[in-house]
Structure 1
Amino acid sequence: MRTLAVGDIHGGLKALTQVLDRAQIAGEDKLIFLGDYVDGWSESAQVIQYLMELSKTNECIFIKGNHDVWCEEWLMQGLVNEVWYMHGGKETIESYNGFSEEQKKAHCRFFEDMPLYHVDDEKRLFVHAGFTSMHGVEREFDIRGFYFDRTLWEMALTMDRRIKKDSKFYPNRLKHYNEIYIGHTPTLNYHKYQPMNAINVWNVDTGAAFTGRLSVMDIKTKEVFQSDTLPMLYPNEMGRNK
């Protein structure tokens, strides 16, 4: 059985199905999605529907991202966050044309059930963005950090790899987990097109919302599977604005 971490999808159903095909997903594979399923390309609602069906054949964990929070608010209360609308929300709302109220309610429940993080038996943490508590995710003061924080990744990037985990200079919040898997901050920001590693943090968001690809990583072997670039798959669309 493989455990696979899946980066931010952002409404790119074509990329999702393509990369899962390239990874040759089998029924015994466990899939951990790192959030931001919606907003960007034109098939956000279709992505959610696909993931709901996929969870019937595979063990799946769906971490909640900031775009998923905004979409859930809209589905539940009709709230249209202005920032969300300008950063992919408009396309997500349009993708729900033709979906019944019952289907929308089912999608809302799907979002409601998403955890904000997951820690497995090998002390590997999966979270959309990050966290700030030196005591670990269980004692995070503001849960918005789980889907908005970038300081975890920024800190990991600046660390000297020669610093060992038992050093007093090693950040306490990193000591709780053997590995940490995140999305949220596209590796395109650093001119990288593959998942990036810094200390014990792996960033699997390779910019599918923009001009990048959707990535899937085997967390044991670190083998990476990728889709084509999203503009190639959606040539008549613009994707999401930063």
Structure 2
Amino acid sequence: MPATYVIGDIHGALKALKQLIERIAPEPEDTLIFLGDYVDGWSESAEVISYLMELEEQYNCYFIKGNHDAWCESWLMGIMPEESWTRNGGMATIASFNKLSPAQRLEHTAFFNAMRLYYIDDLDRLFVHAGFTSTHGPTKERFEPMLYWDRSLWELALAMDTSIPIDSLRYPRRLALFKEIYIGHTPSTNYGETKPMTAVNVHNVDTGAAFKGKISAINVVTKEIWQSDVVQSFYPDEKGRNT
């Protein structure tokens, strides 16, 4: 039976991403769902995008847009993002993309333009970079950037009283909308965890690849986890987004 793997934040770490995919060893009929933040941090952001385009030719892939991807997309389209972008990995991304030919930049820009804000599969599982604020779900989110910026959904799940039954009026409506929700955006390393975290039905697959963590993947059925080595071990002379 084909498997579905969800991959967390990457942040320009091509070498670690390739190692992770090798460890997963997906079959051609498998599905790979990437939760966003492909760029900003380590030195191979453009190379990561090129590799993702190769994977798209081999597997059934879904690419969700993260907040760092939205920044990079704006820059590629000639709109300079807010100043904080360059302080949060953007300078390494600019240097990486400046190596591309004009034709390659157009291909990469088209790839960013085609990214999804979220994906809902046939089994009512939601895949989104950060979260959503509407009690009617991401399709009703009035401010689309919240889908790649919101942290309140994850904070709600972490603080949830699990003794409240799902049919109770006190049960948070956002958590009841989907069978499972898969997110990135907020590193598990912020909580002292090196592996993906689960709170209620929310699975957080960001394990701090931009900093001193790893890139992680999870099988949505078996919940088996795969991880790269610590990303910084591939880039010992770089800081990533560590300050």
| Fold conserved between structures, TM > 0.5 | yes
Q: Counterpart in 2 of 1:9? A: 10
In 2: Cα distance, 1:90 partner to 1:164 partner: 47
Q: Counterpart in 2 of 1:168? A: 169
Once the two structures are superposed, what CA deviation does each residue of 1:197-236 show, in whole Å capped at 9, x if it has no partner? 0000000000000000000100100000000001111111
**How far off is 1:97 after superposition?**
3.2
Deviates further, 92-101 or 128-137 = 92-101
Q: Report the AA paired with residue 23 of structure 2.
A: R
How many residues end up aligned between the 2 structures?
A: 242
Q: Counterpart in 2 of 1:182? A: 183
Q: Counterpart in 1 of 2:231? A: 230
Q: TM-score, normalised by structure 1?
A: 0.98
Q: Counterpart in 1 of 2:67? A: 66
Q: For 1:12-91, list aligned pairs within 5 A.
A: 12-91=13-92
Once the two structures are superposed, what CA deviation does each residue of 1:53-94 show, in whole Å capped at 9, x if it has no partner? 110110100000000000001111152431111100000011
Q: Which runs of 5+ in 2 are unaligned?
A: none
What do you get for the CA RMSD once the two structures are aligned? 1.0
Q: Counterpart in 1 of 2:134? A: 133
Deviates further, 125-134 or 232-241 = 232-241
**How far off is 1:241 after superposition?**
4.2
Secondary structure (helix, strand or coil) at the match of 1:55 reads helix
Q: Counterpart in 2 of 1:192? A: 193
Secondary structure (helix, strand or coil) at the match of 1:77 reads coil
In 2: Cα distance, 1:187 partner to 1:62 partner: 21
Q: Report the AA paired with residue 191 of structure 2.
A: Y
Secondary structure (helix, strand or coil) at the match of 2:212 reads coil
Q: Counterpart in 1 of 2:100? A: 99
In 2: Cα distance, 1:16 partner to 1:8 partner: 10
In 2: Cα distance, 1:238 partner to 1:120 partner: 37
Q: TM-score, normalised by structure 2?
A: 0.97
Secondary structure (helix, strand or coil) at the match of 1:125 reads strand
Q: Which runs of 5+ in 1 are unaligned?
A: none
Matched, 1:146 2:147: yes
Q: Percent identity?
A: 56
Maintained 8 Å contact 2:207/2:215: yes
In 1: Cα distance, 2:52 partner to 2:185 partner: 19
Maintained 8 Å contact 1:130/1:145: yes
Once the two structures are superposed, what CA deviation does each residue of 1:120-152 show, in whole Å capped at 9, x if it has no partner? 011000000000011111111111110000000
Maintained 8 Å contact 1:86/1:241: no
Once the two structures are superposed, what CA deviation does each residue of 1:176-214 show, in whole Å capped at 9, x if it has no partner? 100000000000010000100000000000000000000
In 1: Cα distance, 2:241 partner to 2:92 partner: 9
**How far off is 1:28 after superposition?**
1.3
**How far off is 1:98 after superposition?**
2.4
Maintained 8 Å contact 1:34/1:128: yes
In 2: Cα distance, 1:241 partner to 1:235 partner: 12
Maintained 8 Å contact 2:212/2:242: no
In 1: Cα distance, 2:242 partner to 2:81 partner: 17
In 2: Cα distance, 1:159 partner to 1:80 partner: 35
Return structure 1 stretches of 4+ with deviation > 4 angstroms. Answer: none
**How far off is 1:164 after superposition?**
2.1
In 1: Cα distance, 2:218 partner to 2:122 partner: 18
In 2: Cα distance, 1:103 partner to 1:205 partner: 28
Q: Report the AA paired with residue 75 of structure 2.
A: W
Maintained 8 Å contact 2:12/2:41: yes
